[in-house]
A and B are shown apart, each in its own frame.
Chain A
Amino acid sequence: MKIHIKNGHLIDPKNSTDAKQDVYIAAGKIVSIGKAPEGFSANQTIDATNLIIIPGLVDLSARLREPGFEHKATLESEMLAAAAGGVTSLACPPDTDPVLDEPGLVEMLKHRAKQLNQAHVYPLGALTHQLEGKEITEMCELNEAGCVGFSQADIAIKDTQVLWRAMQYAATFGFTVWLRPEEPYLSKDGVAHDGEVAARLGLKGIPAVAETLAIASILRIALETGAKVHLCRLSTAEGVDMVRNAKKAGQKVTCDVSANHLHLTDFDIGYFNSNTHLKPPVRSQRDKTALSNGLVDGTIDAICSDHTPVDDDAKLYPFAEAEAGATGLELLLPLTLKWAEDNKLSLSQAVKHITESPANILGIPAGDLSINANADICVFDPKQYWKVEPKALLSQGKNTPFLSLELAGKVKYTFVNGHLVHG
């Protein structure tokens, strides 16, 4: 199968390309950029006039809800959502049911995903058995089964001795440990940023110190054990500062932020809108600005969707009891574009955070359109506005804080390995 994508504007941050260039694909790989290779005759030509061509998006956190939560979403529905969002590679956290702590489960998930022949799925294995924070998992076995890193999802390890051992063990084999920094006692029962809005609404707060204290212990243990650490979903200004300082001091650490947190503050909770119940909580304007600045100066490496489909029933509770999470795969691109526009950044600068950078964190061959790279491609119309509403979303999760908003950036074509999965 030979494909020619013509007349589009190509943005490929890794190769510093930001120009009108045609893309030529053969046998699932990029074979040429700009000029047609000798004797190339396309089976299929895509006209990308007025469209932008970027590497397929790499999402560092997308819950596919399988196994165990098929009433919230299925692999089928969420892979379609990924394709519709231009996402061609995604990492999924281990908080399924059963938890991804056994090689067999990981193999099954990989197998199911492969059969669907859509986005590449990279499972994160559980760092501890059942995510209980007590016993470490068979990381080597899980790695062989396909885990690209080890994570605790949203459940922090309380026992620092276990955290220490888990990081030591992961460091032995060079595995990356993915942790969302949140001190479990300080955040206990909390559902909102501990500030003015929580005070007004009478919601139990999660103070910023819950994040900074966790970052301090994680970074310190990582330094001592030599473990590679990826910090997930930073949410506080102080947290960004700590990572900035650690990076300045030469510590190898990466981190991400969710697209939600680049746009929302606790004031968006409004009158108890349970769609804004997220983990970590959306925080103050000052935190939001600091997250944005952290991305710009390279402290934060990547933007992820933090895709967490929640069924409507689970949201039909008072704010604190409503399940946390929002659908995100189809919003990652438009929210990243909006962030770039709000902060007057070039498209290339923004796209890097959802392609090249997350691919580097995962250590996977993706996120760029070099010659011979996998033809994972997203072609989108930057000017087309669309309304975020349930019927516009392919994900089975219809809940998002951005409901009824008009966002620019509509994915027209998505290719995975040169195979058209959306469009």
Chain B
Amino acid sequence: MQNPQLTDDGKLKHLLSIEGLPKKILNQILDTAESFVGVAEREVKKVPLLRGKTVCNLFFENSTRTRTTFEIAAKRLSADVITLNVSTSSQSKGETILDTIDNLTAMHADMFVVRHSQSGAAHMIAKHVAPHIHVINAGDGRHAHPTQGLLDAFTIRRYKPDMHNLRVAIVGDVLHSRVARSEIHALTTLGVPEVRVIAPKTLLPQDVEKLGVHVYHDMREGLKDVDVVMMLRLQNERMAGAMLPSSQEYFKTYGLTQEKLALAKPDAIVLHPGPMNRGVEIDSAVADGTQSVILPQVTYGIAVRMAVMSILAGN
């Protein structure tokens, strides 16, 4: 089965998931992103690569942050940007996803950035679009959020350049998290030798260890001697069912506090994809502390998305 993200000669055509992408392509994206970091510091914060191209942000699910960073990234590449929140428009009138795509294609969109609440939506769209169009998955259900995985890897690489000598812990709701899946694939592909997941059994998928991670249920044990702590956002609705008893108990057992962080290596860094639930999965003292790289993540997110867009549009 050929990876639908790649062209026949192995170039990146769409970015749908990190899984199955060769290390070479991940490194190309991260290296290119390095070049884009400086663009934001210039007088003119734009490069002309995507001049005349139209990038369409198609959000079937709301997300202010991701949408904004994609918008900025596209604009810094000089693209024209259309942003559609489809959840509030045509979908309610019975128009299907593919109808929406066809309409936007007729308006000469060159690239789709898609977010959808269903796993596999981006794959379906990529399968459907005309050959010259590129699709970037900006989050599909629980499946993947590849640019987030890449920007996390980029952030880690900036602070800990030797990826082959790292111990990373991902903490929280792995079961529902597309971010966690993309982080796991990015890190294991880039050669991180030990990726741990730390969560109660109710928030871990069946057979998660087959993704190449070590499972811990005790956070103190799992954080021991790690170089990087990646926190996941805990959706409030998880408290409603039988997944977790309360946010208080969650914070006590799996919330990141200074005291728990002290079990990691002294120079360990802390990441969070945002938006944070302070006092639920992370203590403010940690989020705003010296080991936190949460704000740099946001900055690098733009450079990484610029890299992905410019590599795709050129292939």
Residues of chain A touching chain B, judged by Cβ–Cβ distance below 8 Å, are: 194-196, 198-205, 207, 270-272, 274, 313, 316-321
Contacts and interface: CB of A to CB of B under 8 A. Distances in A.
B110 interface: no
A405 to B, nearest CB: 13
A202 B141 contact: yes
A319 B117 CA distance: 12
B143 A202 contact: yes
Interface stretch (B33-41, B204-212, B259-267): B204-212
A199 B211 contact: yes
The 9 A-B residue pairs whose C-beta atoms are closest, nearest first, are A202-B142, A272-B120, A202-B143, A318-B118, A199-B205, A202-B119, A196-B210, A318-B121, A319-B120
B207 A316 contact: no
A318 B181 contact: no
Interface string B134-146: 0000001111100
Contacts of A202: 119, 140-144, 178, 181
Given A199-B211, A272-B124, 18 more contacts: A196-B210, A198-B206, A199-B206, A200-B181, A201-B119, A202-B119, A202-B140, A202-B178, A203-B142, A207-B206, A271-B3, A316-B96, A318-B118, A318-B119, A318-B120, A318-B124, A320-B120, A320-B141
B98 interface: yes
A321 B140 CA distance: 13
Contacts of A270: 1
Contacts of B120: 201, 203, 271-272, 274, 318-320
Interface in B78-102: 96-98
Contacts of B142: 202-204
A272 B208 contact: no
B230 to A, nearest CB: 17
B4 A271 contact: yes
B19 interface: yes
B123 interface: yes
Interface residues of B, number: 27
A201 B143 contact: yes
A36 to B, nearest CB: 54
Contact of A271 (B1, B116, B141, B211): B1
A270 B97 CA distance: 21
Contacts of A318: 97, 116, 118-121, 124, 140-141
15 contacts: A199-B205, A199-B207, A199-B211, A201-B119, A202-B143, A203-B142, A203-B143, A204-B142, A271-B4, A272-B123, A316-B98, A317-B96, A318-B118, A318-B121, A319-B119
A271 B207 CA distance: 19
Nearest to B116: A318
B184 to A, nearest CB: 10
Given A202-B181, A272-B124, A320 B206 contact: no
A205 B98 contact: no
B205 A271 contact: no
A205 B123 contact: no
Contact of A195 (B4, B121, B123, B207): B207
A198 B205 contact: yes
Contacts of B119: 201-203, 272, 318-320
Contacts of A271: 1, 3-4, 120, 123
Nearest to A199: B205
Interface string B203-222: 00111101100000000000
A319 B118 CA distance: 8
B209 to A, nearest CB: 9
Contacts of B3: 271
A235 B118 CA distance: 25
Interface string B37-50: 00000000000000
Nearest to A268: B1
A195 B206 contact: yes
Nearest to B204: A199
Contacts of B208: 199
Given A201-B119, A201-B143, A271-B1, A317 B207 contact: no
Contact of A200 (B4, B19, B118, B124): B19
A422 B156 CA distance: 66
Contacts of A198: 205-206
A196 to B, nearest CB: 4
A7 to B, nearest CB: 43
Nearest to A204: B142
B118 A320 contact: yes
B304 to A, nearest CB: 21
B234 to A, nearest CB: 17
Given A200-B181, A271-B1, A316-B96, A205 B118 contact: no
A319 B206 CA distance: 19
A271 B1 CA distance: 9
Nearest to A316: B98
Contacts of A320: 118-120, 141
Interface in B13-53: 19
Contacts of A272: 119-120, 123-124
B206 A194 contact: yes
Nearest to B142: A202
Interface string B106-126: 000000000010111101100
Give the residue among B19, B118, B143, B144 with the most A Cβ atoms within 10 A: B118
Interface centre among A195, A317, A318 (most CB of B within 10 A): A318
Contacts of B118: 317-321
Interface in B134-177: 140-144
A200 B210 CA distance: 9
Interface in B178-192: 178, 181
Contacts of A274: 120, 124
A205 B205 contact: yes
A321 B60 CA distance: 14
Interface centre among A198, A202, A203, A270 (most CB of B within 10 A): A202
B252 to A, nearest CB: 27
B105 to A, nearest CB: 16
A148 B51 CA distance: 68
Interface string B1-17: 10110000000000000
Contacts of A196: 206-207, 210-211
